[in-house]
Amino acid sequence: FDNQNLKYKMSGQEALNQHKLICGAHKPILPEMPKEGDNIEFKAWKKTVRHPFVIYADFEALLVKTEENKGDSTAIIQRHEAMSYGFLVKASDDVPVELLEEYEIPAGPVIYRGSEDRTDVARHFIEAIVEVARKIEELMKTNITIKMTEGEEKTHQECNTCNLCKCSLAG
């Protein structure tokens, strides 16, 4: 049984009949396992590295009642109207603060409260995010010299395997 059937608290034939009624319309899902001896290998190593920037965003909206119909069987009863938004750009710790300031990337929350007619909030948000994204893109093109201690340099030069995928490094 699945969680859907747990709410009925039935057993025996009655439960089976109810299960068939609820779940019988769906095709069963069978897991497909690899053949004996086949190897599965993780290949998405770039997805294991943290992003240097993350943007957290949120909207505040009014729910406005409406009586629209979309097709024969869908009635729209409410519509969200954006009133304001806020976003925060979070840079990883290894992005120098000086670069954030140089490229004018906001260090704190950005709040927009909109206008009285509320028609510009979403457009304003998109424009603001695109502007920040362009600044981040320019910052990401900046090359800065890595400063390593002698020990870090020695470890780096002696390294012969990738720290992510553990593959051998040619060299």
Q: Is residue 160 part of a domain?
A: no
The pTM assigned to this predicted structure is 0.64
Q: Is residue 114 part of a domain?
A: yes
Across the range 78-87, mean pLDDT stands at 93
Q: Is residue 125 part of a domain?
A: yes
d(CA 159, CA 41): 23
Total Cβ atoms within 10 A of residue 121: 21
Q: Is residue 123 part of a domain?
A: yes
Find the length of the chain: 171
Q: Is residue 149 part of a domain?
A: no
DSSP H/E element including 90: strand 74-91
Q: Is residue 42 part of a domain?
A: no
Q: Is residue 8 part of a domain?
A: no
What residue type is 29 in one-letter code? I
Number of domains forming the structure of the chain? 1
Q: Is residue 121 part of a domain?
A: yes
Q: What pLDDT band is residue 166 in, cutting at 50, 70 and 90?
A: confident
The sign one gets for the Cα dihedral 165, 94, 91, 104 is negative
Parent domain of 108: 48-140
